[in-house]
Structure formats: structure tokens, C-alpha cells
A and B are shown apart, each in its own frame.
Chain A
Amino acid sequence: MYVVILGAGKVGFALACWLVASDHEVAVIDWDPSRCAALEDELGGISVVGDGTDAGVLARAGCNRADIFVGASGVDEDNLIACQLARHRFGALKTISLVNIPEHEALFALLGIDVTVNATDMIGGRLREELSGAAILDLGDMR
């Protein structure tokens, strides 16, 4: 499987490592050369420095033969536009996008993104679960 990822931040980096370890082919796009260099130290020449909302940059990353495109940057509009270009201009079979602002989740689904991952709500939900499960100390008792 060939997967193109937008964003070499924490999520993109970890995902690329996992995919390579699972014998998939990966390209990662990030505008920040230092993040791409860090990725190359770990995985070799799989990164493309540039703006992932630019069709020329997506072409350089080989989007025309991508099975899956993943928008994993911290900027929702970049994830959306890159996913839409990957699908409509390059024919990616499946698009997955990280959603940083919860309000964008339903919107991204409406606009044709196949899978949305709402990081903010997932982390918030997990924290709430932990907090409600634990006996919360009454601050008054600490005096």
C-alpha cells in the first residue's frame, strides 16, 4: 500500500514509522525542512519539503499513485484542502484527516473526507473517563 501523509509532526512521524515497519510505502510532506530532516534520520528518503495544499508538491510526493492520503497536520484547512486535492485531482482511493477543531468534524465528513479523527475530543473524552473513574480529592480536605 502507498500512503502519503501531510505533516511530519508527532502524529505524522509516528504514523510513518508504523507504516514503514508494517512494510508499506510512505511519503511525508511538511513545509518545515528540519522536521523532514528528523524523519529522514529515522526512515530514510521519504519526505518532501513543501506546502501540501499546493498541487505541485502533492505531485512530487507521488499522490497520483497513492492508495491512501492522510492529513495529519495541526492545521485543519491544510488537511482538508490536501485531502480534497489528493482525491479529486490525483485519484487517491481513501482520505483520512486529523481534525484539530472539533467543530470541523461533521463538516469534513460532509465535504467528502472518508474518515475523520477528532483528536481534541478523543483526548478530552479519555481524560474525562480517567477523572470520573478516580476518586477526586476534595480540595477542602487538603488544608
Chain B
Amino acid sequence: MIDLDPAAFSLLPAGMINDGHVVAIVGDGTLESDLRKSSTQDAEVFVAVSGKDARNALSAQIAKHVLQVKTVICRVNDPASKEMYEQFGIVTVSATALVTDMILRAARS
């Protein structure tokens, strides 16, 4: 798990880091060098779920096209951008689209 903010890791459930379930790395996920420090190049799955679409999209593209990670999942809030990232081979998850979809389904039932 990589995050710019060292304090962010304190939000994890107690023991996750100390028991070795999570390796916490303070770094910039939009830099290939920091992603390599987190051994992203050896990962089977890379997930970019920071709060900023553009940062997620840059991280995801480094993971996919430079570090050759097989499955890359990226959080994208702007539904209009989803299609482009999927063309780039990235799986996208949009909270906006998910919520809208759920509401529409509830409205129809």
C-alpha cells in the first residue's frame, strides 16, 4: 500500500501493518520510481483508488504500460473518461456510476 501521507496508514485496522498483512510505503504513486519501491512490477493486481481521478489514471497507466501489471483497476469519478481508460486496458470503477445505477434499479423495482 502506497500513500503520500504517512498518517493515512493509521486508518487501517489495528495490527494490519504490525502483523505483516500490509506493507506500508510512504511515496508518490504517480512516480515509477516510488511504485518500483513498492514492488508494483511484481504485482498481479494494481489498484489506484486515491481521491483524485487524474492521479489514479497516471498511476494506473504506469502500472499497466511500464510495469506490465496484468490487472489494473482505477477509480474514476468522471464517467465520461471511463471509456478512454478502458480502451487503454484499464478496468475502471466509478462510484458515481455505481450509485446512479443502484438508484435507477431501485426506482424501477
Contact = CB atoms under 8 A, between A and B. Distances in A.
Interface string A65-108: 00000000001111011001100110000000000010110010
Interface residues of B, number: 20
Given A77-B52, A81-B81, A85-B81, 17 more contacts: A53-B53, A53-B78, A55-B81, A75-B54, A76-B30, A77-B55, A80-B58, A81-B54, A81-B58, A84-B84, A88-B84, A88-B87, A89-B80, A89-B81, A89-B84, A103-B32, A107-B32
A110 B84 CA distance: 16
A111 interface: yes
Nearest to B33: A103
Interface string B61-78: 110011000000000001
A103 B81 contact: no
A77 B87 contact: no
The majority secondary structure among interface residues of chain B is: helix
Interface string A43-78: 000000000011110000000000000000001111
